Amino acid sequence: MKPSFAVFLICCFVLCVGANLSLPPFSRAESPAPSATPATGIPGLPPSARALLDVPYVTNGQPRQKLDLYLPATPKGPLLVWIHGGGWRAGTKGNPPGLAMVAAGFAVASLEYRFSQDAIFPAQIQDCKAAIRWLRAHAKEYGYDPKRVAVWGASAGGHLAALLAVTGQVRDFDVGENLDQSSAIQCGVDLFGPADFPAYDPSLPEPMVQRENPDSVIAQLLGGTVSKKMELAKRASPVNWVTKNAAPLLIMQGTKDPLVPADQSQRLGDKLKAAGAEVKLEIIEGAGHGTKEFWTNETLKTIAEFIVIHLSS
C-alpha cells in the first residue's frame, strides 16, 4: 500500500470514528431486502455508498443473527467488521464507528449476535464466526477482498473480537452454514474486553461483573457463576485459545476500568507474546470503561495504523 494512501485511510478512520460517536442512530426499515440500496441519510457515509441493512447471516435464524453491510461505489478493498458491546445481553449494530472508511474503499460490516438471555455461550462466538463465513461467501458478489478482514469491538465486542483472533485455526466454534469458508481474520482490535473469566477478581465492587453473582453479566453469559461453570468459563476465555498462529491483535485497556480490570488485558497480552504471536498492548493510564481516552485522535490513529498495516495488500 502506498504511504500516501495509507495516511489517507488513517485520516478517514480518525475523523469518522470521532464524528460517529456524537451522532444519533439512523432509522431503518423493519425488514429490508438483502440488496444494496443508496445510503442517503446514513451519517458518516459518502453519497455514493450503498447499504444492506438487517441481512440474515443464518437462514431462518434468530432475529439478532443479522448484519449491516456498507459498500463503496466500487468495492475492491478490505473488509472492516465491527462487533458492539453491551454485556452480551444488549447493544445494537446500528450506527457503527468507522463508516467513513467506506470513502477510502473499505467495505464495513456491523453485526449482531444472540444475547445471553436468548442463548448462553458459545452462541455469541458461533454467531460471529457464522457472520464472518457469510461475509466471505458473499465477497465476490459484493466486491470486497475476502483475504483482508479485520474485526474490532469494544467491551463484550472486544472479547468476541479477541476470540476470533485466537481461534482462527480451530473449528470448535464453527457450526451451521458456509462451512467451506474460513472464520479466521487477518487482524483484530480488542477494546477493553474480558479475556480470562476464571481469573476475574471475585471481590470487584461492581455487582454486574462479580463472577460469583448469579445476576452478573458473566454468570448470565455462562448460564451460571464461574465456579459452577468453570469449564465453560475456560472455553469462553481468549487466553485459553492462544497459539503462535493467532491473528495480530491490538489490545487497549484503561487502568481505571471498573468492569474489566487491567490485568485481564495484561494476561492476554502476556500469553500472546509468550506464544510468539503478534500483539500490541496499550494500557491507557486513568481510562475507564469506554471513556473519552479511547476516542482521542491519538488513540484512533493507533487503531487505524494497526488495521491499515495488517490489511495492506
- Report pLDDT for 174: 98
Judged on CB neighbours under 10 Å (0-12, 13-18, 19+), 25 is exposed
Beta strands per DSSP E along the chain? 37-38, 50-56, 66-71, 79-83, 107-111, 149-154, 187-191, 249-254, 279-284
Q: For the chain, which domains are there? A: 3-195+242-311 (3.40.50.1820), 197-236 (no CATH)
Distance (Å, whole) CA 145 – CA 135: 10
pLDDT of 12 above 90: no
Q: What is the pLDDT of residues 112-145, one digit of tens each?
A: 999 999 999 999 999 999 999 999 999 999 999 9
> What type of residue is 205?
P
Q: Does residue 65 have a pLDDT over 60?
A: yes
CA triplet 230, 84, 182: central angle to 5 degrees? 75
Q: Which of 26-40, 103-117, 283-297 has the lowest mean pLDDT?
A: 26-40
Q: Summarize the confidence of residues 204-217 as an average pLDDT.
A: 96
Q: Which residue has the higher pLDDT, 87 or 19?
A: 87
d(CA 207, CA 214): 10
pLDDT in tens, 219-245: 999 999 999 999 999 999 999 999 999
User: Would the CA dihedral through 180, 96, 124, 279 be positive or negative?
Assistant: positive
Does residue 149 surpass a pLDDT of 50?
Answer: yes
The whole-number average pLDDT for the span 18-40 is 43
End-to-end CA distance of the chain: 6
Q: Is the peptide bond before 146 cis (omega within 30 degrees of 0)?
A: no
Categorise residue 178: left if φ over 0, alpha if ψ from -120 to 50, beta otherwise: left
- Tell me how far CA of residue 104 lies from CA of 45, 74, 109, in angstroms: 11, 10, 15
Give, for 232, the enclosing helix (H) or strand (E). Answer: helix 230-235
Distance CA 300, CA 168 (A): 25
Please, how many CA atoms are within 13 Å of residue 155, restricted to the half-sphere of its CB?
Answer: 18
Confidence of residue 312 (pLDDT cuts 50, 70, 90): confident
What pTM, to 2 d.p., does this model score?
Answer: 0.91
**3-17, 57-71, 101-115, 190-204 — which is least confidently predicted?**
3-17
Return the beta strands (E) in 19-135 as ranges: 37-38, 50-56, 66-71, 79-83, 107-111
pLDDT at 203 over 60: yes
pLDDT, residue 24, reads 30
Query: Which positions ≥6 away from 306 have C-beta within 8 Å?
Result: 187, 189, 248, 250, 280
Can you tell me the mean pLDDT for 11-15? 54
Residues of the chain with pLDDT > 90, as a percent, come to 80
Q: For residue range 277-308, what is the model confidence (pLDDT) as tens digits? A: 999 999 999 999 999 999 999 999 999 999 99
- Kindly report the average pLDDT of the chain as a whole number: 90
Which of the four pLDDT bands, split at 50, 70 and 90, describes residue 47? confident
The predicted structure's pLDDT at residue 218:
98
Local confidence band at 76 (pLDDT 50, 70, 90 cut-offs): confident
Q: What is the DSSP letter of 167?
A: S
